[in-house]
Amino acid sequence: MARIAGVNLPTQKRLEVGLTYIYGIGPSSARKICEQLKLDPDEKVRDLTDEEVTRLRSFIDSELQVEGDLRRDRAQAIKRLTEIGSYRGVRHRRGLPVRGQRTKTNARSRKGAKKTVGRGKKAKV
């Protein structure tokens, strides 16, 4: 089993797909990594030699920012925005869309389930 950046790569998947299990590596990054290290992207993770896994691990650790470091940096960037009170920070704080999307309709993944607002009872005279 290949363990890279604290993540166990799934052994039955192709290398190109397996690398995407690491936070910070998407399909295009995985393709570039395979290309630079001259590894076959269609090879299964279980078929990698120990030497290839070591090369992969050292390349990812030295060249890319992944997993914990990347998560920490992103969290700090959001925290900084909220502390300085920027518009984007306020949107993060309120749990609303940050990048200019409409909120009158849609935005449900960000706002959560609909909260029905009743009109209340009419007072008796």
pLDDT in tens, 16-44: 999 999 999 999 999 999 999 999 999 99
Please provide the DSSP assignment of the chain as one string. Answer: --EETTEEPPTTSBHHHHGGGSTT--HHHHHHHHHHTT--TTSBGGG--HHHHHHHHHHHHHH---HHHHHHHHHHHHHHHHHHT-HHHHHHHHT--SSS---SS--HHHH-S-------PPPP-
Question: What's the predicted TM-score (pTM) here?
Answer: 0.79
pLDDT at 1 over 80: no
| Model pLDDT, residue 121 | 80
Task: Determine the structural domain holding residue 16 and report its residue range.
Answer: 3-64
- Based on the domain organization, do 7 and 60 belong to the same domain? yes
- Based on the domain organization, do 56 and 84 belong to the same domain? no
Question: In the chain, how many domains are there?
Answer: 2
- Based on the domain organization, do 56 and 73 belong to the same domain? no
pLDDT, tens digit, for every residue of 60-114?
A: 999 999 999 999 999 999 999 999 999 999 999 999 999 999 999 999 999 999 9
Does residue 117 lie in a domain region? no
